[in-house]
Amino acid sequence: MIYWYDYELPDNIYIQVLRQHIWEAVNNLFSDFPDESRELLDSYINHGLAPVKEIAHCDITYICNIIERHFSCDSFLHCRYVQDLARWCRRNEVQHLDLIKVAQNYTNSTYEMFIIIEWDRYRDKEIYEFDNYEEYERLKDVDIRSSFIFDTIKNVNLFYEKFIFIKQLSKNNYNYIRVLDIIIEENCNRNFHMGMYMLTMIMKEKNRICYIPRILFKNQLKDSERAKLIWGLIQQYHFDLRIQWILSWYEFVDVSIPNIDELLKSMDETEESFYLYFNGLDRYLPLKPDLFQRILEIITDKNSNNNSQIMVFRDLYKEHLSLLGGNIQLIKKSYLQQYIIQQHFDYGGLGFFEILKKDSKLLVEFIKEMYLRRNTRDISLITHSEFGFVWEIDGIEEEIIKVINVSIENELYYYGILDHICNIFLRIFLLNICQRQRTLL
């Protein structure tokens, strides 16, 4: 048996001398290997383990020497590192007067903007320091809205370039898009034309930041004139994620304004890959009862004939099967497509079960498709699934016999090492037998 322990590093003269040599080497070689040196400094505060305070205090002395020699307060990255180091010390109760003095000097306009648009921190606190997350979100929203009100195009352009620079250095794109959404929406509230300038600028630049308006559309599309103006702007430009903007527009606009056929046309014409939620579109079903079937036809056709991939949310066939129309062949084909395109699609098999109740032939078609593609990932996922629910389908025995025959045709040799695909139908009985035996014992 193997045991794993974390031993606290002893604070003795040998450790101190060794770490002194390491930090002095980093200091002396920083100019020749700046990227590697920065990577080492980053790893020091991001390894996740609690430090030995006495050792950390000595380390910070050497790190401060590196900062004073090689860093500049004009650099956003340098400012961010120094402030992250200071927060790391506070979090771990490591006090160092030299670092406190250094941190006071390491800030600039880009960093000041960063601490406002960085969603996971509010001023001098981080999100985990708040007990009430809803209160944190409210405070953060107010802070963002009050900090970026623009009265000139020049100020918008300066903000946008800095925003792009900061966002490119971030690992969490979602929160930055959320912040930008709030900023544009608030500027629309103060000066609608300035907000529209920001929106148009993004479209003209091909949406290089991958922005999708949601808060903006949710609040601004309530006004019919504004909704029509925004739709007109979207139609003027071609940019990345344009179809997502159109879907978002249809999700939030009043149903009396749009022509639903324009949505179908846009989906049919797009060459983009995208993820589609049906939930925001069910408002249009009273106007066009076959809307979901028409959308499913477009998705299935494009996935068959184009390089693009259109994915639907994984519970579509479980929650909205009755709204997808009566073309069971289309429904089965689309389901098989989505299962192949998306990992872990309908993992519990509930959507599969709903379709199977309408057409039990799906069972054989499904297994044949997996064997046809010889997709190891798909076969592995199936063999680890629980398909015992198929026995609830009347007359399913005949289809299971067909599945067994398909399996025999495609697996000429089986050595009993891996789980066989046919076991997914029998595992439920084996579990029941085991449970009965435990009860008797």
3-state secondary structure 411-426: CCCCCCCCCCCCHHHH
pLDDT computed for residue 414 by the predictor: 60
Q: Hey, what amino acid is at 358? A: K
* Closest listed residue to residue 423, CA positions, set 438, 437, 403, 394: 403
pLDDT computed for residue 376 by the predictor: 46
Q: Is pLDDT of 46 > 60?
A: yes
Q: Hey, what amino acid is at 189? A: N
pLDDT confidence band for 344 (50 / 70 / 90): confident
> Where is pLDDT greater, at 80 or 348?
80
pLDDT mean over 273-290: 91
pLDDT confidence band for 174 (50 / 70 / 90): confident
pLDDT mean over 219-240: 96
H helices present in 237-349, as ranges: 242-252, 260-269, 291-305, 316-319, 328-341
Dmax (CA) for the chain in angstroms is 80
Q: Using an 8 Å Cβ cutoff, are 390 and 396 in contact?
A: yes
* Closest listed residue to residue 187, CA positions, set 145, 129, 159, 142: 145
CA-CA distance, 152 to 66, in Å (whole number)?
41
Q: Is 206 helix (H, G, I), strand (E, B) or coil?
A: coil
Q: Which two tokens stand for residue 184?
A: 């544009």
Q: Is pLDDT of 377 > 50?
A: no
pLDDT digits (tens, 9 = 90+) for 393-434: 888 889 988 988 888 888 766 655 556 667 777 665 555 445
Q: Is pLDDT of 2 > 70?
A: no
Percent of the chain with pLDDT over 70: 89
**Number of neighbours of residue 103 by Cβ within 10 angstroms:** 20
> Where is pLDDT greater, at 417 or 179?
179
pLDDT confidence band for 207 (50 / 70 / 90): very high
Q: Is pLDDT of 16 > 60?
A: yes
pLDDT digits (tens, 9 = 90+) for 384-393: 466 778 888 8
pLDDT confidence band for 77 (50 / 70 / 90): very high
pLDDT computed for residue 48 by the predictor: 76
pLDDT digits (tens, 9 = 90+) for 232-262: 999 999 999 999 999 999 999 999 999 999 9
Which range of 193-207, 266-280, 338-352 scores highest in mean pLDDT? It is: 193-207
> Where is pLDDT greater, at 59 or 47?
59
pLDDT computed for residue 173 by the predictor: 82
Contacts of 401 (CB under 8 A, 6+ apart): none
Residues 247-251: contacts with CB under 8 Å, at least 24 apart: 247/274, 247/276, 247/280, 247/281, 248/212, 248/213, 248/214, 248/217, 249/217, 249/221, 250/280, 250/281, 250/284, 251/217, 251/280, 251/281
pLDDT computed for residue 428 by the predictor: 56
Q: What is the mean pLDDT of the chain?
A: 88
Q: Using an 8 Å Cβ cutoff, are 335 and 355 in contact?
A: yes
How much is the CA Rg of the chain, to the nearest whole Å?
Answer: 29
* Closest listed residue to residue 358, CA positions, set 406, 387, 317: 317
Render the burial of 231-243: b for 16+ CB within 10 Å, e for the rest. Answer: beebeeeeebbbb
Q: Is pLDDT of 152 > 50?
A: yes
